[in-house]
Amino acid sequence: MKRKKIPQTTIARLPLYLRHLLKLARKGVRIISSYELAEHVGTNAAQLRKDLSYLGEFGTRGVGYDVGELIRQISKCLGLTREWKVAIVGMGKLGPALLGYKGFEQEGFKIVAIFDKNPKKIGKKMGNLVVSDVTNLKEVIEKVGGVDIGIITTPASAAQKVADQLIEAGIRAILNFAPVTLEVPSHVFLRQVDLSTELQILSYYLTRPFKFPPPCGYCEANRDL
């Protein structure tokens, strides 16, 4: 096939495929069919095959996909063969919770700096890091040799300013947990994780008599039904 641009929706599903493949690999499974893998991830076989076809031809007709090979290919595609450096800004309740999540490091996301503006928190040790003053964000990020991804866990009121600082410090990707729509220049990638929004979406569907639009599993990755 002429390699075409990978759809955004495919990108959003690849991590789900990868997660299940890793689980299979741990169990010692070596081959899997599109049907089985799709089912575990809440899609259908055609979707999965189409998704994978954007990355290349890794399957064996009549057999299925080699689990190890798929893991390698998806990891490569997602840029997970290298380590990314992450900073978290906002050490209220959510920040430390994320910091404590062991999954990050295992998946190649290394938290290298944490920030807050509260003097009571600055200097405090959390995990194996010390909380820096957000005022010095740029300098601290320079000192650790740059950061790839910034996570914002501040209150909404501070989020835009923090985003600006992160961008000023050269960060190109932001994951925002604060309940505001951030404005970022177009070269910066932004993902929003938004609790109230999610609840409000659920609220909408709860008010409808019954499943008239399909329940949406993960963002664009809607489950079949």
- State which of positions 12-51 bind a second copy (CB under 8 A): 12, 14-16, 18-20, 40-42
Find out whether 180 and 192 touch, Cβ atoms under 8 Å.
no
Separation of alpha carbons 86 and 141, rounded Å: 10
Find out whether 89 and 134 touch, Cβ atoms under 8 Å.
yes
Separation of alpha carbons 161 and 213, rounded Å: 38
Separation of alpha carbons 44 and 56, rounded Å: 19
Find out whether 5 and 36 touch, Cβ atoms under 8 Å.
no
Binding mask 204-223 for a second copy (x = CB under 8 A): xxxx--xxxxxxxxxxx-xx
224 binds DNA (CB under 7 A): yes
Minimum CB–partner distance for residue 22 and DNA (Å): 18
Nearer to a second copy, 60 or 124 (CB): 124
What token pair was written down for 60?
Answer: 């064996």
Strand 109-116 relative to strand 59-60: parallel, antiparallel, unpaired? unpaired
- State which of positions 165-194 bind a second copy (CB under 8 A): 172-173, 175, 179-181, 183-184, 186-194
- Nearest in space to 109 (alpha carbons), one of 162, 165, 150: 150
Q: Which of 44, 75, 167, 194 binds DNA (CB under 7 A)?
A: 44
Binding region for DNA (CB under 7 A) out of 48-56, 81-89, 115-123, 148-156: 48-56
47 binds DNA (CB under 7 A): yes
- State which of positions 143-162 bind a second copy (CB under 8 A): 148-149
Minimum CB–partner distance for residue 75 and a second copy (Å): 9
Nearer to a second copy, 44 or 222 (CB): 222
